[in-house]
Amino acid sequence: MGPTKATTDPARIHRSDLGHPDICPVFAYHPLYRNENVDEIHASCSQERMRCKDCKGLAGEAINNLLVPFRERRNDYEQRGDTVKEILIEGT
């Protein structure tokens, strides 16, 4: 799912409309996946200072940052196919 396809606050049709982050599915990602700026994002939405596109971008960035170590581990194992086979054989 790309960042521009996620459903947002259904009452916020135009950027000039006040946002309702507490009912927005996109906002729910911020407290789950980021440790900072959540209150600022909430306020920016509520005060119509943030575009939904930017908000989605921040949510996507936070989720991607969380996945970096998993991707690195995956790449590492991808390089070491023999080790993976040994682990699988030992585990059977």
Positions that interact with ligand SF4 (CB under 6 A): 8-9, 12, 19, 21, 24, 26-27, 45, 50, 52, 55-56
Cβ distance to ligand SF4 smaller for residue 65 or 75: 65
**Stretch (H or E) spanning 48:** none
Nearer CB in complex with ligand SF4: 57/84: 57
CB of 60 vs ligand SF4, minimal distance in Å: 11
Residue 47 DSSP SS3: coil
Report DSSP state, residue 19: P
Minimum gap (Å) between residue 88 Cβ and ligand SF4 = 42
Q: How far apart are the first and last CA of the chain?
A: 36
Give the span between the Cα atoms of 57 and 60, in whole angstroms: 5
